[in-house]
Amino acid sequence: MTGDSAAAVRSGSFAPVRTDVVVIGLGAFGSAALWRLAERGVDVVGLERFGVGHPFGSSHGITRLFRVACQEHPGLSPIAGRTRDLWHELEDRYGQELVRQSGCLSVGSPGSTPITGTLAAAAGAGLPVVRLGHDELVARYPQYAGLGATDEAVLDPEAGICFPERAVRAHVRAASEHGAVVYTDTRVVRLELTADGVVAHTPTTRVVARQAVVSAGAWLGQLVPGLPLQPRRVPLFWFRARDPRDEGFALERFPAFIRQLPDGRVLWGHGSDSREGFGIKIGMEDQGHNFSDTDPDEVDRGIHPDTDIAQLSAWVADAFPGVDPVPAGAAPCMITTTPDHQFVVGRPGGDPRLVVAGGDSGHGFKHAAGIGELLAGCTLGETPYTDVGFLSPDRFPASGNGPSPS
């Protein structure tokens, strides 16, 4: 771990271990589950095939968008809200910024999902969003071009951005300080369900536990088959203003946004911060056809001008002409989709040995700590702090019950 090393994070070979709960995969969801379990005093071991805060899964790159009024589902607002509160706790403890509530604009026609979904979620959660009519949007945000005649915006002042690698490290640091033991560079190659628990097998050793929390991101389906999960390769891109003297694309003037263009294309992103060293971030929504399915073990880690950049550059040129449409930086990343684009959080088939978290569908980081709290509670049989039926791993007609006992 960089800058905040904890003695309980180990790599290299180790003798077989016995514990109450083993958490497999320490990205967004798993690192948070590890923290929330350790903070409850549970004997917990975390296993991570790479390092803490690594760039090979779904949780790297300096920033993610953060919103509590989530257009994706009204049931997500309490989870993002719990995440914000838990991250504020860690910010106070470690003096590090994990979430910056610098605002987020949802932009589109009055009937578009960014407008209707955000308004519905904000109303449900009692959040103080501000509706900006077309003329006000144009006057306040001249960076936006190609607006439809009726396009408007919803400004959520409590939304903004969050810092994923930093958050993962902070979760693991807090977990370690509460007694969790973490093994990095440790890949679970098989999860065995036994009569009274689980055995997580690595190539050289094993961890025996009463329960497993499996939060392996794009690799979740390898360890828990039967869930309708599809990993997809979705790169991250950063841009610069065409004119280096143009300060209109700094985060304070160009806040986080989700924007549906008049023809249905959706862009998201946020402005730059030179002190933190991040540029203008812009990406396009998957919409089921902009990116491709991938095998997480074979994911293409190159960036290709024709297939990765050309389309996004054209969209950026249409939507924000002050941005140089040639990206200044890029990194491959993955999301894992489910048929309804919501996560899977809970016990598949009610199995008392197994809790899963995954299917992030490209919008999971803002919920990381809140999901960690749900996972810890589920493991211990607590009543969840919010209704999570819409995240049940069993909501899909054909989903299985996880791996067969062997």
Ligand X SMILES: Cc1cc2nc3c(=O)[nH]c(=O)nc-3n(C[C@H](O)[C@H](O)[C@H](O)COP(=O)(O)OP(=O)(O)OC[C@H]3O[C@@H](n4cnc5c(N)ncnc54)[C@H](O)[C@@H]3O)c2cc1C
Chain residues that interact with ligand X, rule: CB under 6 A: 24-30, 47-50, 57-59, 64-65, 187-188, 215-217, 219, 223, 234, 236, 283, 333-335, 358, 360, 362-366
Tell me which residue of 345, 348, 312 sits closest to 328, measured CA to CA. Answer: 312
Rank residues 134 and 386 by Cβ distance to ligand X and give the closer one: 386
Residue nearest to ligand X (CB): 27
Nearest residue (CB) to ligand X, 360 versus 373: 360
Cβ 135 to ligand X shortest distance, Å: 29
Q: What is the DSSP letter of 308?
A: I
Q: Which is nearer to ligand X, 54 or 242 (CB)?
A: 54
Question: Rounded to the nearest whole angstrom, what is the least distance from the CB of residue 394 to ligand X in the complex?
Answer: 19
- Closer of 108 and 332 to ligand X (Cβ): 332
Q: Could you tell me the smallest distance in angstroms from the CB atom of residue 23 to ligand X?
A: 9
- Residue among 60, 53, 64, 58 at smallest CA distance from 296: 58
Cβ nearer to ligand X, comparing 74 with 148: 74
Handedness of CA 284, 288, 294, 295 (dihedral sign): positive
Strand partners, 24: 47, 214
Q: What share of the chain is helix, strand, coil (3-state, %, to 5)?
A: 25, 25, 45
- Which pair of structure tokens corresponds to residue 211? 């329960």
Contact 214/224 with Cβ under 8 angstroms?
Answer: yes
CB 162 within 8 A of CB 87: yes
From CA 403, how far away is CA 406, in angstroms rounded? 9
Smaller CB distance to ligand X: residue 12 or 397?
12
What backbone phi and psi angles, to 5 degrees, belong to 174?
A: -65, -40
Instruction: Please report how close the Cβ of residue 47 comes to ligand X at its closest, in angstroms.
Output: 5
Cβ proximity to ligand X, 108 vs 358, nearer residue: 358
| Residues 209/353, Cβ–Cβ less than 8 Å | no
Distance, in Å, from the CA atom of 208 to the CA atom of 173, rounded to the nearest integer, reads 23
At its nearest, how many Å lie between ligand X and the CB of residue 243?
A: 26
How far apart are CB 83 and ligand X at their closest, in Å?
9
Indicate the residue among 42 and 45 with the shorter CB distance to ligand X: 45
CB of 72 to ligand X, least distance (A): 10
Is 242 exposed, middle or buried (CB count within 10 Å of its CB: 0-12, 13-18, 19+)? middle
Q: Which of 170, 166, 175, 163 is nearest to 47 (CA)?
A: 175
- Tell the smallest beta-carbon distance from residue 234 to ligand X (Å): 4
- For residues 68 and 74, give the distance between their C-alpha atoms in angstroms, rounded to a whole number: 9
